[in-house]
Amino acid sequence: MSNTLSERLAAAPVVPLIGENDAVRAVKTAEALGAGGLSVIEVVMRSDDAQRGMEAILAETEGLIVGAGTVLTVDQAKSVVASGAEFIVSPGLVDDIARYCLDEGIPFFPGTMTAGEVQRAYALGLREVKFFPASLAGGVPMLKAFSSVFREMRFMPTGGVSTSNLSEFLVLPSVLACGGSWLTPKDAVAVGDYSKITNLAEEAVAIARSVR
Ligand code: 3PG
């Protein structure tokens, strides 16, 4: 993982997801998150327009580290990196994406939810993984069990994380950061209530500071 990314996550260990199709709204959402203290942002590739939204954020904002999420193939990984993605997140572990990212020095967070998947990630040379879907994959007790055997691995729980359980995850030393969409509610984006997004980001930063 790059020094800058790891420093940013140490300062504010929360990665908001942007799933907005409209590029203008995606940029405003990213700016609102940055204003609230969250500067590492994952744009999920779940529509044909998502990559353009990520490109617009990269072109029109400053001070953010922007990655691509929901990357399913190595070709897609190459494409989002060509667009400027600074890290890649996948829902699962695909070896050729991992090898490509390791070769290129691009931080890669593949989803894992079993000991076998974490061990395969470790064997490939990864030391940071997503833990997905965190709430269904066993939550905090599962992460504690993983951490006792995978001493070098750090986890990014995502899926079911929110204001109500963020501190329970962040208190674990093996948790690098938590990811989630609760910071970018669709209804707030739809009506242009970007101050709500900034407030949610500030709340997440405050929770993180209270436990770290
Ligand atoms: C992901 O892509 O990581 C999840 O869909 C996010 O889950 P959440 O909506 O529960 O945060």
10 Å Cβ neighbour count for 52? 15
Q: From the CA of 161, how far away is ligand 1's center (Å)?
A: 8
- Helix, strand, coil shares, percent, the chain, to 5: 50, 15, 35
Which residue puts its alpha carbon closest to atom 11 of ligand 1? 180
Q: C-alpha angle with apex 130: 125 to 132, nearest 5 degrees?
A: 135
How many angstroms is it from 32 CA to the middle of ligand 1? Answer: 19
Digit-coded pLDDT (tens) for 85-127? 999 999 999 999 999 999 999 999 999 999 999 999 999 999 9
Ligand 1 site, residue 160, Cβ cutoff 6 A: yes
pLDDT of 3 > 90? The answer is: no
Question: Ligand 1 within 6 A of 139 CB?
Answer: no
Answer whether 167 contacts ligand 1 (Cβ < 6 A). Answer: no
**What pTM did the predictor assign?**
0.96
Q: Which residues are catalytic?
A: 42, 130
169 pLDDT higher than 70? yes
Residue 2 has pLDDT above 90, yes or no: no
Q: Is the CB of 179 under 6 A from ligand 1?
A: yes
Distance from first CA to last CA of the chain, Å, rounded? 20
b/e code 3-31 from CB counts within 10 Å (16+ = b): eebeebbeebbbbbbbbbeebebbbbbbb
pLDDT digits (tens, 9 = 90+) for 191-205: 999 999 999 999 999
The pLDDT assigned to 212 comes to: 87
Pocket test for ligand 1, best of 15, 17, 155, 169 (most atoms within 8 A of CB): 17
pLDDT digits (tens, 9 = 90+) for 54-88: 999 999 999 999 999 999 999 999 999 999 999 99
Pocket test for ligand 1, best of 129, 135, 158 (most atoms within 8 A of CB): 158
